[in-house]
């Protein structure tokens, strides 16, 4: 389906994201990689931690 919207400010879509949000996405991607490796059994034993602060 198609949705037609009006009155949208282009800068909302084209303005980019803030630095802290970019960092948040970067850290979430690292945590995803760590989780995938752990579940696959390929995570190096040196990498250990119980929470985000310890792992990232």
Mean pLDDT of 20-49: 91
Residue 25 pLDDT more than 90? yes
Give the domain extent around 39. Answer: 17-55
Which residue matches tokens 């282009």? Answer: 10
Mean pLDDT of 19-33: 92
Mean pLDDT of 20-44: 92
Q: How far is CA 30 from CA 5, 6, 39, 42, 55, in A?
A: 35, 37, 14, 15, 9
Q: Is residue 38 part of a domain?
A: yes
Q: Is residue 40 part of a domain?
A: yes
Q: How many domains would you assign to the chain?
A: 1
Q: What is the pLDDT of residue 12?
A: 75
Regarding pTM above 0.85, the answer is: no
């Amino acid at each position: 389906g198609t949705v037609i919207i009006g009155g949208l400010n282009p800068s909302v879509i084209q303005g980019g994201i803030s630095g802290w949000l970019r960092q948040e996405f970067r850290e979430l991607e690292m945590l995803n990689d760590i989780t995938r490796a752990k579940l696959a059994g390929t995570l190096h034993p040196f990498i250990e931690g119980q929470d985000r602060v310890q792992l990232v």
